[in-house]
Amino acid sequence: MTARQTIEAGKAILGIEFGSTRIKAVLIDEENKPIAQGSHEWENQLVDGLWTYSTEAVWHGLQDCYADLRRDVQKQYGCEIESLAAIGFSAMMHGYMAFDEKQQILVPFRTWRNTNTGKAAAELSKLFNYNIPLRWSISHLYECILEGEEHVGNIKYLTTLAGYVHWQVTGKFVLGVGDASGMIPIDPSTKTYDAGMVRKFDELVAPKGFSWKLLDILPECLNAGEQAGFLTPEGARMLDTSGHLKAGIPVCPPEGDAGTGMVATNAVKQRTGNVSAGTSSFSMIVLEKPLSKPYEPIDLVTTPDGSLVAMVHCNNCTSDINAWVGLFKEFQQLLGVPVDMNKLYAGLFNKALEGDADCGGLMAYNYVSGEPVTGLQEGRPMFLRSAGDKFNLANFMRAHLYGAIAVLKFGNDILLKEENVRVDRITGHGGYFKTAGVGQRMLAAALGSPISVMETAGEGGAWGIALLAGYMVNNPGHLSLADYLEEIVFAGNTGVSIAPTEEDVAGFNKYIETYKACLPVEQKAAECK
């Protein structure tokens, strides 16, 4: 079929992902190739000291994103989207969305970016003998209990952003196992919430006398490929305000951005991994066996089909780079030079390749918000240099590109050097890799490992959740998710690989030693109000 015939026959598949700065929709054909897309820009808000998005912003953003997709379809193919073979919703993981029995949100959505849950996370990590990160839903819930927040007794439903959107448009209160693994730990043998930890939590909070137990308020946990409901008439109207989209479309389990990143990079098999680098960054390595002990910088989550994954999550990545590029844009405009943002980014990124391997001594901290891996609850973007350093544009850009992935190295050094985790392939995706060869080379230097990037790297999580929706409806051979991706979607394509050079590795290591030494400066800056 042509793309138009696929759309008109209702055989296209839609994936929508709520990222930190953009909501993106990708429409794919029966060969899993993107044929149309839409997007909506949005930003979190700092309200009463907590990062949030309003529910109104969620629905306005979803509708505007879908409307942008419709315009793209109409412009390219001159037709309307009436039906689809399947839909999938994905979003940034973790956080806290609590609702009462009338499905009304009890407090504003608390995103993964918040770092106010230190006491709760520490107590739960000790109780479970398992690293419980600050951003996980269980940390937010327990912190609310510790703080005596009145709304806790009224909780009827607790979910993530992806789970919330899916619930409202299908009526099904469910969650994909990968996203669920960022709420509380998953038992890989049962592929659902860890029963022992659930019991310990219930016993811990029993003296509070809440009317609920933990499993009462959590979504049902589903694996990739399972049926997760259908688009309701109300859901169709919530998605497509024009009224063209019909109800009854099957919807796959909602997933988190970590899971869709693994799918989009063909990294759900053991001994494969991926690095997602955009507003935040995280690496995911699918483990052959559990780690020997808990590590604070390493989270244990799962693939969308329930395999154990070591995740190093960093709150900050490209936001500070984007701010500096914006400054260069203003300078161009001041000179009356027309601005092409793609050329500006590409020019500055490529300039970094001309810099010294150690950035000439320049140092950049990209901490727009706190960074739990390095122990900072608040952040201050900061650029440092001494009078004798080689201060030029190439080193300046390279320092910021190094700084964007520096924290990733902390956790991955534990995995690759202390735990001797074996990885056959690491694939990069996200905006950090958009300029060919640049971010890829920097990450190879940081991890000391070859990094692959595919042509589809820029498609990201919206494409990944579309593939999961396709896996649900187009897997007649009942292949495992890993085999489906390997044999059907990617057909053996592993992308273009760049290996680290000795000079780059040595330069990055020198940079990271200075980075560690100067962390107290960043800490002090964050303390200054």
Over residues 21-48, the pLDDT tens digits come to 899 999 999 999 999 999 999 999 999 9
Instruction: Report the alpha-carbon distance of residue 296 to residue 373 in Å, rounded.
Output: 7
Write down the mean pLDDT value for the chain: 95
Instruction: Report the alpha-carbon distance of residue 497 to residue 210 in Å, rounded.
Output: 53
Residue 296, pLDDT score = 87
Residue 409, pLDDT score = 94
Instruction: Report the alpha-carbon distance of residue 304 to residue 470 in Å, rounded.
Output: 14
Residue 469, pLDDT score = 98
- Confidence label for 219 from pLDDT (cuts 50, 70 and 90): very high
Over residues 61-103, the pLDDT tens digits come to 999 999 999 999 999 999 999 999 999 999 999 999 999 999 9
Report the number of secondary-structure helices (H) and strands (E) in the chain.
Answer: 18, 22
- What SS3 string covers 390-411? CCCHHHHHHHHHHHHHHHHHHH
Question: What's the pTM value of the predicted model, to 2 decimals?
Answer: 0.85
CA torsion through residues 28, 345, 374, 357, sign: positive
Over residues 316-329, the pLDDT tens digits come to 999 999 999 999 99
Nearest to 122 by CA among 110, 108, 107, 136: 136
Pairing of strands 13-18, 86-91: parallel
Nearest to 205 by CA among 124, 272, 289, 301: 124
* Backbone phi and psi for residue 89, each to the nearest 5 degrees, phi listed first: -120, 135
355: left (phi over 0), alpha (psi -120 to 50) or beta: beta
Residue 431, pLDDT score = 85
Over residues 501-512, the pLDDT tens digits come to 999 999 999 999
Identify each DSSP E strand in 348-476 by its residue range. 363-365, 382-384, 425-429, 451-453
For residues 275-284, average pLDDT: 88
Identify each DSSP E strand in 143-264 by its residue range. 157-159, 174-176, 186-187, 192-193, 220-222, 255-256
- Confidence label for 375 from pLDDT (cuts 50, 70 and 90): confident
Residue 458, pLDDT score = 56
Residue 408, pLDDT score = 94
Residue 459, pLDDT score = 61
Residue 278, pLDDT score = 84
Instruction: Report the alpha-carbon distance of residue 287 to residue 265 in Å, rounded.
Output: 16
Query: Counting Cβ atoms within 10 Å, is residue 285 exposed (0-12), middle (13-18) or buried (19+)?
Result: buried
Over residues 150-166, the pLDDT tens digits come to 999 999 999 999 999 99
Per DSSP, helices labelled H in 34-183 are 55-77, 118-128, 137-146, 161-170, 177-180
Residue 310, pLDDT score = 95
Is it the case that residue 455 has pLDDT exceeding 70?
yes
- Confidence label for 454 from pLDDT (cuts 50, 70 and 90): confident
- The domains located in the chain, with CATH, are 1-92+224-256+459-497 (3.30.420.40), 94-159+184-217 (3.30.420.40), 267-453+499-529 (3.30.420.40)
